[in-house]
Structure 1
């Protein structure tokens, strides 16, 4: 359930694996439909879901991420670049696979420049929890306290690396 930080070719990779009790197709729709993304990522998304298609995430606080799709293989693989001011350019990869009655999600976020990895570990951890809530059709306000809690946890683990 918890995220991990891996080192790969000198880069930091944030990695999560989660089981969601929903079919792969339903999870795929949740990560590729702007009207669903806003519920769990809490960002407004605009994109053209094809390889080399542009993608933009815009949060209410003004944060902005730009990128482009590098892999689109419905409903199992999705990969896109992630460009923002604070972390530079990085790569987000979703791998979905059928598992029991649901879906195994493997999410990685690879950083090419230095980034505040604990922030991304905490953020993705909470956003994956929000994804599961969205798939269950439960609405909750974004849990900022949970982000702080997870940030403290991950920051202490990272300091030991």
Structure 2
């Protein structure tokens, strides 16, 4: 990234099992923090689930991707209407950083950095176990962050699942073995 106004929307592997993806969002930082940590706001772009804001606290994320966009698009085979995942907060520095476990596929860190009147959000997903998982979470994070960017900007976004399927093909090329 060369300056604060240019962010590549695609995730990239910064290590063999680490995906990093960024978005530059309208601020203030505290507003974006609420979208990351409060269940009702997080549900609008990712997954619901109450988080007790302390290291070691367990929580459950509940995805309902068909509710993120209207219309949602055609859900791919193998995806249910709802997905649940148990997690635990591993690092916390409000309103700048939160890390938590990601079930059987590593851990995720959200970092927020002020950039003038905007906020740079960096999502780092570490310890991805295999290529199949990378090709699920790469387009997943990308599409969920596109939904977040639309929500905080008041912009329109196309069907979630159509975007995810398009991005999965693109990530297959970008995350070459």
Tell me if the contact between 2:112 and 2:121 (Cα under 8 Å) persists in the aligned partners: yes
Provide, for residues 16-65 of structure 1, a one-character-per-residue CA deviation record: whole Å limited to 9, x for no partner.
Answer: 12211221111001100101011000x22122121111121122423211
The residue that corresponds to 2:4 in the other structure is none
Higher strand share: 1
**Distance in 2 separating the partners of 1:5 and 1:118:** 12
The residue that corresponds to 1:129 in the other structure is 146
Moved more, 148-157 or 53-62: 53-62
SS at match of 2:53: coil
The residue that corresponds to 2:90 in the other structure is 70
The residue that corresponds to 2:112 in the other structure is 96
1:112 CA drift (Å): 5.1
Considering only aligned residues, what root-mean-square deviation do their CA atoms show, in Å? 1.8
Instruction: Detail structure 1 runs of 4+ shifted over 6 Å in the superposition.
Output: none
> What's the TM-score, normalizing by structure 1?
0.86
The residue that corresponds to 1:106 in the other structure is 122
Provide, for residues 60-108 of structure 1, a one-character-per-residue CA deviation record: whole Å limited to 9, x for no partner.
Answer: 423211111011111101111111xxxx141100110110211011110
Aligned length: 152
Tell me if the contact between 2:38 and 2:51 (Cα under 8 Å) persists in the aligned partners: no
1:136 CA drift (Å): 2.7
Unaligned runs of 5+ in 1: none
**Distance in 2 separating the partners of 1:45 and 1:132:** 20
